[in-house]
Amino acid sequence: MSNVTLADIKANKKIETMIRHSNECLEAIGYTDHGPRHVGYVSKIAGNILEQLDFDARRVELAKIAGWVHDVGNMINRKHHGMLSSVLLLPVLSEAGMDFEEVCDVCSAIGNHEEETGQTVSDISAALIIADKVDAHKARVRLKQYNPEDIHDRVNFSIKSTSMNVDKKNRVIAIEYAMDSTSSITEFLEIYLKRMRMCERAAKYLDCTFALSFNGVRINM
């Protein structure tokens, strides 16, 4: 069994470089942050979901690793970046010493995290999808490029805080957004509805329901 950890992956210079280049490419075309802040959040939340649901510690670690590396394909192209990430990572993770079965687990999860083409294929995949899709926050807005006419900037800027809770007893994975009047729930859903539906399917794979709330009010049932 591989003992490659998230710390090992974070220290990997090739992966560090790919994350940086991916974020720079997205900055150049006007996308929100996809650098260490975003991948760090996704890594943390993906691991926390499986940990709170009592999955094996190694599956938790692999979810964290998948979260950290899931967006490197953006350095090639935004379109199909999930599949591109998987192809890029297969040799790099193998070279890093990860067991090949685990490499396949991580890459299949990453290759399925885009809402246009992805499907939940494993526990790691489910956790990655939810963690990635719920990351809307003002910290993702690149302030030097902030454009109030851009709905993506406007929606993210309106999210002042988020809270993720995993209720193992009742099998509920819940995300709560604190949102101000900079934008609206309607605008949020204009961007995120397909992503939230994907989260619902991912939660179902984990035998859970997905609860989406804004300012204390749940909007999906």
In tens, the pLDDT along 66-110 reads 999 999 999 999 999 999 999 999 999 999 999 999 999 999 999
pLDDT at 134 over 60: yes
Instruction: Supply the pLDDT for residue 146.
Output: 86
Q: How many CB atoms lie within 10 A of CB 1?
A: 7
Helices (H), 53-150: 57-69, 81-95, 100-110, 123-133
Work out the average pLDDT over 16-21.
98
- Percent of the chain at pLDDT > 90 equals 93
Instruction: Supply the pLDDT for residue 1.
Output: 53
Work out the average pLDDT over 188-212.
97
Instruction: Supply the pLDDT for residue 148.
Output: 87
Looking at the DSSP bridge assignments, the partners of residue 172 are: 167, 209
Which domains occur in the chain, in start order? 6-218 (1.10.3210)
The 10s digit of each residue's pLDDT in 28-71 is 998 999 999 999 999 999 999 999 999 999 999 999 999 999 99
User: φ, ψ for residue 118 (rounded to 5)?
Assistant: -85, 155
Give the model's confidence band at 118: pLDDT under 50 very low, under 70 low, under 90 confident, else very high. Answer: very high
pLDDT, the chain, mean: 96
Give the model's confidence band at 145: pLDDT under 50 very low, under 70 low, under 90 confident, else very high. Answer: confident
Q: DSSP letters along 173-186, please?
A: EEEEEEE-TTS-HH
Name the token pair of 122.
């494993």
Instruction: Supply the pLDDT for residue 189.
Output: 97
Percent helix, strand and coil across the chain, each to the nearest 5 = 60, 10, 30
- Compute the CA torsion angle 112, 114, 119, 121 (nearest 10 deg): 30
Give the model's confidence band at 2: pLDDT under 50 very low, under 70 low, under 90 confident, else very high. Answer: low
Instruction: Supply the pLDDT for residue 143.
Output: 78
